[in-house]
């Protein structure tokens, strides 16, 4: 396709790669488009933040947009993008119908990040102290919105294979509408591995995660109340450093140096704090998607102990970069074993390098992804005819959301 490709990304927030895996993911997608020579504009209704990436320095146009305002229609018509990427389903809900109306020929991509409905349904089941069932998804309100959004888009980017399977088995989504694109990594070189701190040079347990993300906050509470006392029973001198962006007062109150439990707040360099830790602890009890913190631990050569939810969709058939345990006693026991036994630790580290090499190399996915979207663009009309449910939802959304939005706009005047 010789068309000069213009990509418009509509962001839920401005990308903060140092604050969350979602921010890192967005920067990866931008870099794929830039490497292809595509012209990229990033627009968001969010407020600027102190930690957002400098988009202009990456050669990307930055545009602030307003919800429920026809100024967006003027902007998007003038820009006339060939590809529009919605960052999470909420942005597609807000702006998808405007894109469809003003730029009907633009390919509409949805980056799901993780399945929000899966994360929320698991969270509800957890809070209600009962096992999660896939039937929970069918009664989850967010699922109705998220699935509608997936159907209205031409392609939805998925980072977890388990979620692709769920969408097909539970919601009967056509596989043609889904595309597997995990978090992407550069190959880890021998010299990088050699330059990582050794077993002896590292100390302390570490946890890292954005505190605005409920699974992270819950994991820290679980560490504090249940797991850490079990670790300290076996290792009275053990120290755990908890890092994360946006810690609230609730989080800061957990800081108890006498128990070796340190709330460190935002890390200036996530990579630095993770690679200086000897073992990462991530006892996630609900959540979805691929866990950026666990992939980062592998990159830093830091073995981890996590739960089956934490490791879900992350290592295929390969052995984990440490241990997977859902029982708190076993979790604590394995954490101490991994911390104290160099042989086990080195093997776990090696497993992490193998997982990265076999499942996450950017070079394996990048070109296929670009070819896939270019191919769809060449027969977009026929492709959309095959997705009748999507067309149906687009029709009704255009009508209902459009008039609701117009009403809000009038009201705001």
Intervals of CATH 3.40.50.2000 along the chain: 6-184+362-412, 190-359
pLDDT at 2: 46
End-to-end CA distance of the chain: 43
Asked if 339 and 302 count as a contact pair (C-beta separation under 8 A), the reply is: no
Instruction: Report the predicted TM-score, pTM, of the whole model to 2 decimal places.
Output: 0.92
Closest alpha carbon to 322 in 309, 77, 301 = 301
Closest alpha carbon to 210 in 255, 240, 262, 247 = 247
Q: How far apart are CA 370 and CA 373, in angstroms?
A: 5
Q: Does 3.40.50.1100 match the CATH number of domain 190-359?
A: no
**Tens of pLDDT along the chain (413 residues)?**
446 899 999 999 999 988 788 889 999 999 999 999 999 999 999 999 998 999 999 899 999 999 999 999 999 999 999 999 999 999 999 999 999 999 999 999 999 989 999 999 999 999 999 999 999 999 999 999 999 999 999 999 999 999 999 999 999 999 999 999 999 999 999 999 999 999 999 999 999 998 989 999 999 999 999 999 999 999 999 999 999 988 999 999 999 999 999 999 999 899 999 999 999 999 999 999 999 999 999 999 999 999 999 999 999 999 999 999 999 999 999 999 999 999 999 999 999 999 999 999 999 999 999 999 999 999 999 999 999 999 898 877 767 777 788 888 888 88
CATH for 6-184+362-412 is 3.40.50.2000
Q: What angle do CA 65, 69, 70 make, to 5 degrees?
A: 100
Closest alpha carbon to 302 in 377, 260, 243 = 243
* Helix spans in 224-361 (H): 228-234, 249-252, 270-276, 292-299, 308-311, 328-340, 342-359
Q: What's the DSSP call for residue 282?
A: E
pLDDT at 1: 43
Structural tokens at position 410: 């009038």
Buried b (16+ CB within 10 A) or exposed e, 179-200: bbbbbbbeebeeeeeeeeeebe
Q: How far is CA 271 from CA 206, 217, 301, in A?
A: 12, 20, 10
């Amino acid at each position: 396709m010789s068309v000069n490709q213009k990509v418009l990304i509509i962001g839920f927030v401005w990308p903060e790669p140092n604050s969350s895996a979602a921010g890192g993911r967005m920067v990866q997608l931008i870099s794929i488009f830039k490497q292809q020579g595509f012209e990229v504009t990033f627009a968001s209704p969010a407020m600027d933040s102190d930690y957002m990436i400098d988009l202009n320095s990456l050669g990307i146009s930055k545009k602030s947009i307003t919800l429920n305002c026809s100024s967006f229609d003027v902007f998007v018509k003038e820009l006339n993008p060939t590809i529009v990427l919605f960052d999470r389903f909420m942005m597609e809900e807000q702006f998808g119908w405007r894109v469809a109306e003003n730029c009907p020929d633009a390919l509409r991509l949805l980056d799901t990040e993780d399945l929000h409905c899966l994360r929320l349904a698991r969270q509800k089941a957890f809070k209600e102290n009962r096992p999660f069932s896939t039937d929970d998804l069918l009664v989850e309100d967010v699922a109705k919105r998220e699935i509608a959004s997936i159907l209205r888009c031409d392609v939805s980017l998925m980072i977890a294979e388990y979620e692709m399977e769920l969408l097909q088995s539970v919601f009967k989504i056509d596989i043609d509408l889904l595309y597997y694109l995990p978090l992407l990594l550069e190959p880890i070189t021998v010299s990088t591995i050699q330059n990582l701190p050794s077993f002896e040079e590292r100390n302390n347990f570490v946890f890292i995660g954005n505190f605005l993300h409920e699974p992270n906050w819950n994991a820290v509470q679980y560490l504090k109340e249940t797991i850490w006392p079990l670790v300290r029973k076996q290792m009275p001198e053990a120290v755990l450093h908890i890092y994360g962006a946006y810690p609230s007062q609730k989080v800061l109150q957990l800081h108890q140096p006498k128990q070796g439990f340190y709330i460190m707040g935002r890390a200036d360099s996530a990579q630095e704090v993770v690679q200086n830790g000897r073992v990462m602890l991530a006892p996630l009890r609900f959540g979805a998607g691929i866990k950026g913190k666990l992939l980062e631990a592998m990159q830093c050569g830091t073995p981890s102990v996590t739960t089956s939810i934490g490791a879900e969709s992350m290592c295929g058939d390969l052995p984990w970069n440490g241990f997977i345990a859902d029982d708190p006693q076993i979790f604590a026991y394995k954490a101490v074993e991994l911390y104290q036994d160099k042989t086990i630790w080195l093997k776990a580290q090696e497993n992490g390098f193998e997982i990265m090499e076999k499942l996450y190399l950017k070079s394996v996915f990048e070109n296929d992804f670009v070819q896939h979207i270019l191919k769809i663009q060449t027969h977009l009309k026929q492709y959309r005819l095959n997705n009748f449910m999507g067309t149906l939802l687009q029709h009704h959304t255009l009508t209902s959301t459009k008039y609701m939005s117009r009403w809000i706009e009038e009201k705001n005047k």
